[in-house]
Amino acid sequence: MSTTAESFDSVARLIEIGRLGDAKRLLGQAIAHEPENPRGELLAGHIALLEGNTAAAETYASAALARDPHNLATGELLYEILAQQKRWAEAERIVIELIRAHPTDADLFASYCHLMLCTLHVDKASELSKEALRLDPQNDRARLMGVLVGLVRGDASTQYQVEKLVSEDPESRWVVTLLFTSLVDQKRFEEALRVGQQLLRANPNNTALTEALVELRMQTHWIAAPARPLARWGWFGAAALWVLALVTIRLASALQSTVALWLAGAYLAYCLYTWIYPPLLRRWIRHRGIVP
C-alpha cells in the first residue's frame, strides 16, 4: 500500500471519530502528493458536508465523480448532499444512475425509497423498501426505510422501532430528520408528528425538536381544528376571513337582518378563540408530554 493511500485511510478514520481539524490537515498533505486522486476530493466533500458547507461539499463530490463516474461512495455522497438541500429532481437522477450501475445494492434502493417518501410518493417508496429488503434483509438502512414507510402510513406496529434502528446506525439520523422536515414543509403535520416523536425517542435531549413537536401537536389537536385554515394559509387566510366577515356583516346590516348581530358575535368569538387557545393548549401539551 502506498503512503498516500495510507494517509487517505487515516483521514477516513479521523472523520469517523469527528476529528475534522486533524483530518483536514492530513488530507491537505495527501492531496499535495496525489492531486489527481478522486479519493482526496471525496474525503474533502465529506468534511465539508459535516461542517455544514454544502456548496463546497457539492463541488468536491462533483469533481470526484467526474474523475471516477462509477464510484459508488462518491455517488452516494453527492446524493446525500442534494437530498439534504431538498433538490429532489437532481438527487433522483443521481440515485437512478447509481442503481443502473449497481442494480443489487440494497443501500441505493433504500436511498431511492427515502427520496420517494420525502416527496410523498408513499406507494412507490413502499415498493422500493421491499426491494431493498429483498436484496439484503439485514441491511440497516433498508430496515429503517421499511419502518418509516409504515410510520408515515400510520402502522402502529412500527411506532417504537425507529429509536432502535437509529441507535444501531447513527449515520441514519439525517435520513429521519430530513423526512421529518420534508413532511413539515408539505404541511403533513400528522405524519410529521409521528416521525418526529420517534426521532425524539432517539434523541430525548433535543430541545429544538421538542418545541417543534409541541407546535405540531397543537396543529393536530382537535381543539385547534377551527383554526386550521389560518394555520394553513397564514396571513392570507386571516385577511380573507376578515374581508369575508366584514362583507357578510355589512350585507346583513343593509338588509336590516338580526343575522348581522349573530355574525358579528360569531366573528368576535372566533377571534377570541384564536387568541386564547394557543397558550393554554401549549401549556397543557408540555405538561402532559409530547411522546406517548
Q: What is the fold of 104-220?
A: 1.25.40
Q: What are phi and psi of 105, to 5 degrees?
A: -90, 115
- For the four alpha carbons of 50, 36, 28 and 14, in that order, the dihedral sign comes to positive
Degrees to nearest 5, angle at CA 184 with 180 and 186: 120
First to last CA, the chain: 53
Query: Which cell is 142 given?
Result: 433498508
Which segments of the chain have a pLDDT < 50?
A: 1
**pLDDT for res 263:** 64
The span from the CA of 57 to the CA of 78, in Å, is 8
Q: What is the fold of 1-88?
A: 1.25.40
Q: Cell numbers 435520513 label which residue?
A: 175
CATH 1.25.40.10 in the chain: give the residue spans.
1-88, 104-220
**pLDDT for res 111:** 94
> What is the per-residue pLDDT across 70-110, written as a single tens digit (0 to 9) for each?
889 999 999 999 999 999 999 999 999 999 999 999 999 99
**pLDDT for res 254:** 63
The span from the CA of 86 to the CA of 177, in Å, is 12
How many of the other CB atoms lie within 10 Å of CB of 72?
14
- Selection from 40, 118, 129 nearest residue 84 by Cα: 118
**pLDDT for res 1:** 43
The span from the CA of 178 to the CA of 86, in Å, is 9
The span from the CA of 83 to the CA of 3, in Å, is 34
- Selection from 74, 76, 54 nearest residue 64 by Cα: 74
**pLDDT for res 74:** 93
- Selection from 231, 223, 176, 230 nearest residue 198 by Cα: 176
Q: Cell numbers 377571534 label which residue?
A: 271
228-254 and 259-288 helices cross at what angle (nearest 10)?
160
The span from the CA of 98 to the CA of 95, in Å, is 5
Q: CA-based diameter of the chain, in Å?
A: 94
